[in-house]
Structure 1
Amino acid sequence: MKEFVLIFRLKDISDFRTTPEQMQQRMNWLEGIAAQNKLADKGRTLLPFDGSAKTVKSNKEVIDGVYTGSKEFVSGYMVVKTETIDQAVEIARANPIFEQVGGNIEIREVLKRD
């Protein structure tokens, strides 16, 4: 099996806050992936920029905050195990976040070194 990281991006900080019902829907989705033995790493939620983030640019300049090339921010990640990227896409498509607040999920294969 291959591993794919799912990178969660939100458009607005208000989307970061969830109701208990929304959180339960997300946990049910995660538990469903784990029940299929397709969860490699449940990942973590990343705190929104609150003054504690820094970015080191290619010229080694350090700026406060996150990369500003995008209006979205990364809110978290997880890693799933599937045979193909299309299977990872199907897992991502079932995430209740799309009905709840929108955003998007970037899917990338994790390089394995033997």
Structure 2
Amino acid sequence: MEEYLILMRLDLLTKESQPSPEQLQVYMKQYREWVNLIVKQKKFVSGTALSTEGRVIQHKTLVTDGPFVETKESLAGFITILAESFEEALEFAKSCPILLGEGNSVEIRKVMGIHTED
């Protein structure tokens, strides 16, 4: 089995796009149910949400406020899963409830290990 990263992007900045507290409860319930389905299949590795605050370190260690995006779509969080193939990981990603929101997107990437223990 291989590890895959499912990145969830949505509009975290536009006031009109933010859900009401009631809508947020519904969305979080849908998200928890989706993750629990992956957990029950013993394919969930980890996951977390990300804040909108941060810093960007560029060439020669120049530090700036950010991250700032060119579009309204921001990286909101991610989960790491196990899957037998890219196609299986894709099926998990396609059922992510984030995709129910207009303009939202999910990206899937295979995790490639570059670090090895000595």
Q: TM-score, normalised by structure 1?
A: 0.82
**Matched letter for residue 34 of structure 2:** W
Report the more deviating stretch, 30-39 or 70-79.
Answer: 70-79
- 4+ residue runs of structure 1 moved beyond 2 angstroms? 11-18, 67-72
Do the aligned partners of 2:99 and 2:106 also contact (CA within 8 Å) in 1? Answer: no
CA distance in 1, matches of 2:79, 2:18: 16
* Secondary structure, counterpart of 1:48 in structure 2: coil
Q: Deviations over 1:59-104 (max 9, x none)?
A: 4221101054554211111101001111111101101111135411
Distance of aligned partners of 1:33 and 1:7 in 2 relative to their CA distance in 1, 3 Å threshold: same
Q: Deviations over 1:3-34 (max 9, x none)?
A: 00111111343556552111101100000010
CA distance in 2, matches of 1:88, 1:58: 34
Match of 2:44 among 39, 42, 47: 39
Do the aligned partners of 1:22 and 1:100 also contact (CA within 8 Å) in 2? Answer: no
CA distance in 1, matches of 2:18, 2:57: 25
Do the aligned partners of 1:29 and 1:95 also contact (CA within 8 Å) in 2? Answer: yes
Gaps of 5+ in 2: none
Q: Does 1:27 align with 2:19?
A: no
How many residue pairs were aligned? 110
Report the more deviating stretch, 79-88 or 62-71.
Answer: 62-71
After superposition, the CA RMSD in angstroms is 2.1
Report the more deviating stretch, 76-85 or 55-64.
Answer: 55-64
The sequence identity of aligned pairs, in percent, is: 26
Gaps of 5+ in 1: none
Q: Which residue of 1 aligns with 2:89?
A: 88
Distance of aligned partners of 1:59 and 1:72 in 2 relative to their CA distance in 1, 3 Å threshold: farther
Q: TM-score, normalised by structure 2?
A: 0.80
Q: Highest Rg: 1 or 2?
A: 2
TM superposition shift of 1:58: 2.1
